Amino acid sequence: MLLVDTNILIDYLRQKSEAIAFVNHFGKGNLALSPIVIMEVFQGVLNKADFNRTQKALNGFAVLDLDTSVAQLAMQLQQHYVLSHQLSIPDAFIAATALIYNIELRTYNLKDFRFIPGIRLSDQLS
């Protein structure tokens, strides 16, 4: 199981060939999403048709729970790294999800997470 960051999911929704190949290779059931990622994607929806297309495209991905342990770790990460690395609240939740579930995070934005101890990251889609 891999955790997919927002930027890769957006490329998938935009039908970018590398992101489509990534999803097809691993299969939606082996790729996990944080509810935060889903919320970030829907923040960019422009109209009802886009909403419906996005909702349909997200079917089949595993969605991980934002439980108390994820929330508590996200708070700790954000408080610890907000000044030194400007860690955003969404990224704190995404990082905490990867750490709590002990899964690798696939993201194009390694710089947003690489300072977090113990997090496993990759920007490779192949």
pTM of the model: 0.94
Model pLDDT for residues 12-71, shown as the tens digit of each residue? 999 999 999 999 999 999 999 999 999 999 999 999 999 999 999 999 999 999 999 999
Is 2-122 a CATH 3.40.50.1010 domain?
yes
- Find out whether 50 is annotated in a ligand binding site: no
Measured CA to CA, the distance from residue 9 to residue 13 in angstroms comes to: 6
Query: Where do the domains of the chain lie?
Result: 2-122
Around 19, how many Cα atoms within 13 Å sit in the side-chain half-sphere? 17
Residue 126 scores a pLDDT above 90: no
Burial pattern 106-123, b for ≥16 Cβ within 10 A else e, equals bbeeeebbeebeebebee
- Find out whether 11 is annotated in a ligand binding site: no
- How much is the average pLDDT of 83-101? 98
